[in-house]
Amino acid sequence: MEDKTLTCKDCGKEFVFTKGEQEFYAEKGFTNEPTRCTECRAANKAKRNSNRSFDRPSRY
């Protein structure tokens, strides 16, 4: 397994999907390669987390 150069679907920047990351994905059973670079992935995650509704009661 070798490092792969992929293109981010959000910003169009190329990023490296390393051998170690590929092995991690395989261990977890992930079948799709990442489609976003690290920066866009973090921004997308932050956006998703900020859209959470606070009017629901918390479950403890």
Query: For the segment 21-49, what is each residue's pLDDT rounded down to a tens digit?
Result: 999 999 999 999 999 999 999 999 998 88
Residue 10: inside a domain: yes
- In this predicted structure, the answer to whether residue 16 has a pLDDT above a threshold of 90 is yes
Residue 47: inside a domain: no
Query: What are the tokens at 49?
Result: 């987390």
Partners of residue 4 on adjacent β-strands: 17
- In this predicted structure, the answer to whether residue 18 has a pLDDT above a threshold of 70 is yes
Residue 34: inside a domain: yes
Instruction: Give the whole-angstrom CA distance, residue 60 versus residue 35.
Output: 35
Residue 52: inside a domain: no
- The tally of domains found in the chain comes to 1
What percentage of the chain carries pLDDT values higher than 90?
75
Residue 23: inside a domain: yes
The predicted model scores a pTM of 0.73
Q: What is the pLDDT of residue 1?
A: 85
CA nearest 11: which of 31, 47, 46, 36? 36
Instruction: Give the whole-angstrom CA distance, residue 41 versus residue 23.
Output: 19
Q: What angle do CA 44, 23, 15 make, to 5 degrees?
A: 45
Cβ contact 36:8 at 8 Å: yes
**Which domain range does residue 18 map to?**
4-41
Q: What is the pLDDT of residue 50?
A: 83
